[in-house]
Amino acid sequence: MATTNSLVKRKTREVPIGNIAVGGNNPIAVQSMCATKTQNIEATINQIKLLEEHGADIIRIAIDSKRDVEALKEIRTKTKANIVIDLQENYRLIELVAPLVQKVRYNPGHLHHHEKEVPVEEKVKFLVTTAKKYGIALRIGVNFGSLDPNAKERSESDIDAALDSASKHVTLVEDLNFTNFVVSLKSSDPNEVIEINKKFATKYPEIPLHLGVTEAGMLPMGEIKTRVAYENLIPLGIGDTIRVSLTLPFAEKYQEILVGKKILLDIEEGRFRSVPKFVQEGLNIISCPSCSRVENEAFIELAQNVREMSQYASKYNLTIAVMGCRVNGPGETDDADLGLWCAPKHVNLKRKGELVGAFGYDEILPRVKAELDGLICGEPLVANRS
């Protein structure tokens, strides 16, 4: 069961998710996400067991295709875990997965990618109607790396756009008489996570919040960024379920659960290790959590190698984003000084949002160093781009 039940909490409404519930007087639930490919059934079942053994209350799996759904059917026969499915562009897959899971997460920013002729309102109605039919929960998952383009166009900042998007979807689902949902508002910047969740909690005090710093990166910095956000929100009663998003080898995904539990226990017992505001000084490396959407597992080693290679530049206020898939890869790499968006067989390298080229995993590191040196020296893009 969940980690602790003595933290001060807002009195949000209760949302059942399988054999637990979030919100209300329930303890804060700790989540993680399978890193294995969903269609690798044996590996995914083993990862679910690993996460359960370390105390995961809810376990997320990515579903991107009907083949993934077929794999999920078999996985479901081998586990009683509370499973939440992460839907990306193909929102219609909810009809196939809903009978098999306890919760579905959709991203408002991804409802614009497929079936562009179908209004977002109709897509949300389909999601809600299906969730009602099968008695499952929903998560409205807003991510700064993949914001609703319409919300971005009419907003002055990402925080405004994210809050606008979340507010719109809260209205859409509640107008359909559906309240069995939670909301998440995630950024790779812990200060933005703090600010937007405070604003949302003030505007919607009854709605449970799923907290997380997305693309928190590798340890120890990934824990530090997450800790800053949680230590500034949870003592205020903000947060009903958490996920620590770390870049980890697949066999070490359980570290997300252990780190989350450690942070909650420290907060409960008054051991605060962070500062009121996260101050990023020097080189900032953003890397997404290793999960089943990662196009190539080599992404994890690449992120580690980029960190080691770039230590000589630690005093420079630059951001390198190493992203493992198409979900938030474009947004995060566009905003970084250097962005690596990892595809199955190559890595797209960007400098300040401009594509440098596509390079093999065995040749990308020297190109990153060359561009990093250029940024430090104020030089233009490296010549002879691919």
Tell me the per-residue pLDDT of 224-261, one tens digit each, with 9 for 90 and over: 999 999 999 999 999 999 999 999 988 999 999 999 99
Higher pLDDT, 214 or 386: 214
187 in any annotated domain: yes
Range of the domain at 291: 284-377
Average pLDDT over residues 49-55: 97
Bridge partners of 59?
Answer: 32, 83
Q: What is the pLDDT of residues 144-186, one digit of tens each?
A: 988 988 888 899 899 999 999 999 999 999 999 999 999 999 9
Residues 117 and 252 in one domain: yes
Give 345's DSSP letter: S
Task: Judge whether residue 6 has pLDDT over 50.
Answer: no
Q: In this prediction, what percent of the chain has a pLDDT beyond 70?
A: 92
Task: Judge whether residue 295 has pLDDT over 80.
Answer: no
Residues 256 and 358 in one domain: no
Nearest Cα to Cα of residue 91 among 105, 102, 79, 103: 105
pLDDT of amino acid 383: 41
Q: Which amino acid is at 192?
A: E
Identify the CATH number of the domain in which residue 146 sits. Answer: 3.20.20.20
Bridge partners of 86?
Answer: 62, 105
Residues 358 and 331 in one domain: yes
Q: Is the peptide bond before 220 cis (omega within 30 degrees of 0)?
A: yes
- Residue 221 — very low, low, confident or very high, per pLDDT cuts 50/70/90? very high
* Whole-prediction pTM: 0.83
Cα distance from N-terminal residue to C-terminal residue, the chain: 52
Residues 175 and 304 in one domain: no
Number of domains in the chain: 2
Last residue of a domain, one of 238, 268, 298: 268
Query: Distance (Å, rounded) from C-alpha 27 to C-alpha 8?
Result: 10
Residues 260 and 291 in one domain: no
9 in any annotated domain: no
- The tokens for 369 are 């160093």
- What φ, ψ does residue 273 adopt, rounded to 5°? -110, -5
CA distances in angstroms from 53 to 43, 49, 176, listed in the order given: 15, 6, 38
Query: 374 in helix, strand or coil?
Result: helix
Nearest Cα to Cα of residue 161 among 172, 177, 147, 178: 147
pLDDT of amino acid 313: 93
Q: Is the peptide bond before 108 cis (omega within 30 degrees of 0)?
A: no
Identify the CATH number of the domain in which residue 346 sits. Answer: 3.30.413.10
- Residue 275 — very low, low, confident or very high, per pLDDT cuts 50/70/90? low
Q: In this prediction, what percent of the chain has a pLDDT beyond 90?
A: 70
| Alpha-helical runs (H) found in 204-285 | 221-233, 255-268
Residues 263 and 295 in one domain: no
276 in any annotated domain: no
pLDDT of amino acid 331: 66
Bridge partners of 209?
Answer: 183
pLDDT of amino acid 224: 92
Lowest mean pLDDT among 158-167, 305-314, 332-341: 332-341
User: Could you tell me how far CA 33 lies from the centroid of its own chain?
Assistant: 9
Q: What is the pLDDT of residues 15-40, one digit of tens each?
A: 999 999 999 999 999 999 999 999 99
Last residue of a domain, one of 203, 237, 268: 268
pLDDT of amino acid 205: 96
Task: Judge whether residue 289 has pLDDT over 90.
Answer: no
Higher pLDDT, 342 or 379: 342
47 in any annotated domain: yes
Task: Judge whether residue 309 has pLDDT over 50.
Answer: yes
Residues 128 and 63 in one domain: yes
- Residue 272 — very low, low, confident or very high, per pLDDT cuts 50/70/90? confident
Q: Strand 15-17 vs strand 20-22: parallel, antiparallel, or unpaired?
A: antiparallel
What is the three-state SS of 145-170? HHCCHHHHHCCCCHHHHHHHHHHHHH
Last residue of a domain, one of 239, 268, 297: 268
| Mean pLDDT for the chain overall | 90
Residues 258 and 295 in one domain: no
**Count of Cβ atoms closer than 10 Å to residue 72 Cβ:** 22
Q: How many residues does the chain have?
A: 386
231 in any annotated domain: yes
- Residue 292 — very low, low, confident or very high, per pLDDT cuts 50/70/90? low
Residues 120 and 211 in one domain: yes
User: Could you tell me how far CA 23 lies from the centroid of its own chain?
Assistant: 20
70 in any annotated domain: yes
195 in any annotated domain: yes
Q: Which amino acid is at 372?
A: L
Task: Judge whether residue 369 has pLDDT over 50.
Answer: yes
Task: Judge whether residue 139 has pLDDT over 50.
Answer: yes
Residues 187 and 311 in one domain: no
Q: Strand 181-186 vs strand 137-143: parallel, antiparallel, or unpaired?
A: parallel
Q: What is the pLDDT of residues 189-214, one digit of tens each?
A: 999 999 999 999 999 999 999 999 99
Is the CB of residue 182 less than 8 Å from the CB of residue 135?
no
Residues 216 and 345 in one domain: no
Give 64's DSSP letter: -
**Count of Cβ atoms closer than 10 Å to residue 357 Cβ:** 16
193 in any annotated domain: yes
Residues 59 and 109 in one domain: yes
Burial class from Cβ neighbours inside 10 Å (0-12, 13-18, 19+) for residue 360 reads exposed
Higher pLDDT, 272 or 164: 164
